[in-house]
Amino acid sequence: MKDQILQVQQLYPQIYVACHADHIKAASSHVHLSARDSGILAHFRDSVDVQPSKLARHLGIARSTMSQALKKLTALGYVAKKKNPSDHRKLGLQLTEQGRNAMQAASVLDYAKVEILLCQLTAAERDSALAGLALLAKAASQAMLKEKLKVVN
């Protein structure tokens, strides 16, 4: 395990440094997104309705802060409100095509640099790399939840 931890510590920074985008202030950006806004959008998945309270809890921010951010993202057309098909009393949120494009434009990882990186791999290698990243992201989400549960208890 110690060697695997070392590999993650060595490999992730190489990807980050190679693909890191220059930071742009929300006001001067053509998509008007802050790093926090982009981070919120990055937690949306195309086929899954996001519940604001769960997203706020996951990101460790106050519901009121999340509400303000989502109001802005909805006004910009990046997020669409959608009724839950199984419970019409609940409201879900979904990333729009415009939101996906804005998130990519404001991402901490530069689109063109990531594209260059991925183009150096075969299709099978890209699938393996993305599957590995998805597993690490899943573990990160679970670790964040466990840490928050410790704070509550």
pLDDT in tens, 80-97: 887 776 777 777 788 899
> In whole angstroms, how far apart are CA 148 and each of 51, 58, 60, 136?
18, 8, 8, 18
Q: Which residues contact 45 (CB under 8 A, 6 or more apart)?
A: 95
CATH 1.10.10.10 fits 19-108, yes or no: yes
Q: What residues does 94 pair with on adjacent strands?
A: 80
pLDDT at 25: 56
Percent of the chain with pLDDT over 90: 25
Instruction: For 14-70, give the DSSP string.
Output: HHHHHHBPPP--GGGSTT---HHHHHHHTT-BTTBPBPHHHHHHHHT--HHHHHHHH
Q: Is the pLDDT of residue 73 over 90?
A: yes
Q: What does residue 28 show for φ and ψ, rounded to 5 degrees?
A: -95, -5
The tens digit of pLDDT for each residue in 117-129 reads 999 999 999 999 9
- Specify whether the CB–CB gap between 105 and 31 falls below 8 A: yes
